[in-house]
Amino acid sequence: MLSSSVVFIPALLAFYVAWVYSVHKAFLNVYIPVLFLLPEYYHWNAPAGLPEMNVNQTTIGAIVVVWALRGFKGWRFSLTDIVVFGFLWAQVYSQFMVTGFKDAQNFAFHNITSAVFPYMLTKALIEPYGLRADLAKRIVISLALVTIGLFPQFLLGIQHTPWQLAFGRFFGNQGWLWDTQYRWGFARASGPYGHAIIAGIIMICGYRLQRWLEWSHAWSDHLPPKYAWINIPPARLFTFVLFAGAFMTLVRGPISAGIVAGLFMSLAFTRNRWFIFFTVMIIGISVSIPIIYWFISYASVGRFQAATEAQGTVAYRWELVGNYIELGMLKFWWGWGEFNTPQVPGQRSIDNHFLLLFLRHGMVGFLGLLLVFIVMMLRLFLHSMLKPVVYPLGSGFGFTLLAIYIVIFWSIATVWMGQQTLPLLFLITGWADGYLRSGQENEHLQTRQTQTVTLQRFRFKRVLT
């Protein structure tokens, strides 16, 4: 369908901005809004022999072309690259082993454009150039705009989102299967992300970035004069908006993940980090045994004997793990492939991305993703815990990145990691690696603090004449 070629319009804009201005501007001002504001489930109907492409892939591809022509500026190899590229290569090789070259080629294109490119560009363009706050602000502003679009779906309970109604006409039958789901009598807002759980993950990650911006005093103290009637500081306004956006998704898993992440964030506000951490760990281990016994009895009741909807959901996922692990053991190392996994009758939805990865790409794929999380979370944890308390309190960026990893890890243990969550994970991974290698905290505040010190060095008296 010719109209599906609209996915190349942002790519042309990105190429123009990257070529005329800079790759950094194209990444921040074109790719980031496209990634978070536009649906990924719409794609170009490619001719035979070419891969299908969505708007995020075409946009970042255009930026990478200009970046490559200018010598991959900012890029530095690190051991993290081996972990990331090794995991993504294992998935492609698994697909090749199962279904051959053609499917592996298409899958490689997907991994390169949705994971490798976001990882590489974020790592090379953000921390080396002091653009940490700029990237966080672009994400927050984009998600604030998404939140505005969530209200009609949440309040009116419409079957399709404003994004489907606006863009569906260009893509024929694509995207209409993403219907609105309901919980507690309310519509679960999904926005441009296909499913409410994916929207919840993204919104809560954005909320964590916004809290860091607020604690770091990265926003102006006042709104522009024409908005003076809104009597609330910009930082607080964005916090409320993103909190509302996360709430409207009505997702239990990501919200509980956000609570756990918030508990870890509390370590950024105290000098007694290790004492608090070990105290909580001891208490957690002490109470975990009875909790585990309770959870087993709660989950193993069977979904058809469950007393509530929540218990039925937990029971379904409990049965899911047992049933599908048996299938996974039949293809232990390399899995069944992306599209060849057999299904257990009555359990089409595999609500655990780690289990899904084990089924599709075997133990190699499962351990690859697990290693990405373990390596990055452990590095961020040790880095943040061993540093002195950073002022303003809460502005230690390592804790924020760690909290985002917790949100994603916890969430995808109960749902599929798809749509924009894949580039988000590798964007955060590239960002985290660049941050850990930079050795900088609060680089966006240094200029402001230096200017303040310079201005206050001499105590002039103001005289009215």
Phi-psi region of 74 (alpha: psi -120 to 50; beta: other; left: phi over 0): left
Distance CA 249, CA 255 (A): 9
Q: How far apart are CA 57 and CA 220, in angstroms?
A: 33
pLDDT tens for the chain, residues 1 to 465: 567 899 999 999 999 999 999 999 999 999 999 999 999 999 998 787 788 899 999 999 999 999 999 999 999 999 999 999 999 999 999 999 888 887 888 889 999 999 999 999 999 999 999 999 999 999 999 999 999 999 999 998 888 899 998 998 888 888 888 888 888 888 999 999 989 999 999 999 999 999 999 999 999 888 777 777 778 899 999 999 999 999 999 998 899 999 999 999 999 998 889 998 999 889 888 888 888 878 777 777 777 777 677 777 778 777 888 888 888 898 999 999 887 888 887 777 787 899 999 999 999 999 999 999 999 999 999 999 998 888 898 889 999 999 999 999 999 988 888 889 999 999 999 999 999 998 887 755 544 443 333 334 434 444 444
pTM of the model: 0.90
Instruction: Give the pLDDT of residue 2.
Output: 66
pLDDT given at position 425: 97
Tokens for 316, please give them. 């379904």
pLDDT at site 447: 44
pLDDT of 348: 76
